[in-house]
Amino acid sequence: MPRSPVQEQRAPRSPGAIILRRILTSWQGQFGVLVLAVIVALGLLAPWIAPYSPIDIDPDAFSMPPSPAHWFGTDEIGRDVLSRVLHGATVSLQVVVFAIGLALIVGSVLGLISGWLGGRWDALIMRVMDAFLAFPLLVLALSIVAVLGPDLMNAMLAIAITKMPGFARLVRAEVLSLREVDYVIAAKAAGASPWRILSRHIWPNVSGNVIVYGSLSASQALITESALSFLGLGVQPPTPSWGYMVATGIQFYQSWWMSFFPGLAIFLTVLALNFLGDAVRDAFDARLGDRHD
């Protein structure tokens, strides 16, 4: 006999599917995913869809305004601004992914070690993290790049170092609150190794907050990269970078398109990253579970 609709039970969904559904059903998440998907696609397809090479110079097209031949105009030496904006998307997003990924991995490992071992290790690691946090983010990044030299890889390392203390302190705080809960104490009593306890019992409960913090930090990483390139300490010419294009365009204020379009690209990407970060934070917030589901 077929079961009535009242008797029908919804199939259980995995936590990951629930989180993804919450992100994609919020307007912030939809906006962030859509805009970032478009920017990533344009960046990846830039070698095929860009109308010109980002480094080719046209001596007959210096500082031309937007036109059918050059939709975003040209810069001071005749390079197509649209082509440079498209290729610059790859550079900027590469910086965000590498910097936040490296900061997440190193910072999380340090936070796990500090929170679990405690004592001298905790004091040593946290004092080093506090020393990094004593400087404003951009000032610290500028100092690191000034020492290492202006280069894309050095800029990514500098941004990763500036974001690492936040991950370390977040993970440490979570570990300190979890290492005395009943299931962790039971695992210790059963003879589980520290590695097993950290990987099977503590990290799964910490990873959600780490992902949220990483998504919210992505926009800060992009702004920092743009600032470094603006000051000439990030991506070096002729490689296209949104921040460097804005810096160059400001010197030619009558050619407004030189700084407007790369600045618009930075604005839209940061806005999308912030909205996506808000959506991820709300999705992981257990207090909103009933409202979303």
Determine the pLDDT at residue 82: 92
Q: What is the mean pLDDT of the chain?
A: 85
In 3D space, the residue among 264, 171, 173 whose CA is nearest the CA of residue 214 turns out to be 171
Residue 275 has pLDDT above 50, yes or no: yes
Q: What does the pLDDT look like over 17-41, one tens digit per residue?
A: 878 888 888 888 899 999 999 999 9
Residue 102 has pLDDT above 90, yes or no: yes
CA atoms of 289 and 19, how far apart (whole Å): 9
Residue 1 pLDDT level (bands cut at 50, 70, 90): very low
CA atoms of 224 and 211, how far apart (whole Å): 20
Asked if 43 and 82 count as a contact pair (C-beta separation under 8 A), the reply is: no
CA atoms of 71 and 279, how far apart (whole Å): 34
Please classify residue 251 by burial: count the beta carbons closer than 10 Å to its beta carbon, then call 0-12 exposed, 13-18 middle and 19+ buried.
Answer: exposed
Residue 243's φ and ψ, nearest 5 degrees, are: -65, -45
DSSP, res 80: B
Determine the pLDDT at residue 168: 93
Determine the pLDDT at residue 236: 80
Please classify residue 191 by burial: count the beta carbons closer than 10 Å to its beta carbon, then call 0-12 exposed, 13-18 middle and 19+ buried.
Answer: exposed
Residue 288 has pLDDT above 80, yes or no: no
Q: What does the pLDDT look like over 53-66, one tens digit per residue?
A: 888 888 888 888 99
Determine the pLDDT at residue 287: 46
> What does the block give as tokens for 67?
């036109």
Query: For residues 210 and 232, which has the higher predicted lDDT (pLDDT)?
Result: 210
Q: Report how far apart, in Å, the C-alpha atoms of 218 and of each of 63, 79, 160 are.
A: 33, 29, 11
Letter for the amino acid at 227? A
Query: For residues 11 and 213, which has the higher predicted lDDT (pLDDT)?
Result: 213
Residue 291 has pLDDT above 60, yes or no: no
Determine the pLDDT at residue 12: 57
Query: For residues 9 and 193, which has the higher predicted lDDT (pLDDT)?
Result: 193
Residue 284 has pLDDT above 80, yes or no: no
**What predicted TM-score, i.e. pTM, was given to this entire model?**
0.82
Determine the pLDDT at residue 6: 47
Percent of the chain with pLDDT over 90: 27
Determine the pLDDT at residue 49: 92
What class, spelled out in words, does domain 34-47+74-292 have in CATH? mainly alpha
- Sketch the domain layout of the chain as residue ranges: 34-47+74-292
Determine the pLDDT at residue 164: 93
Residue 120 has pLDDT above 60, yes or no: yes
Residue 100 has pLDDT above 50, yes or no: yes
Determine the pLDDT at residue 10: 55
What is the pLDDT averaged over residues 173-177? 89
Query: For residues 289 and 73, which has the higher predicted lDDT (pLDDT)?
Result: 73
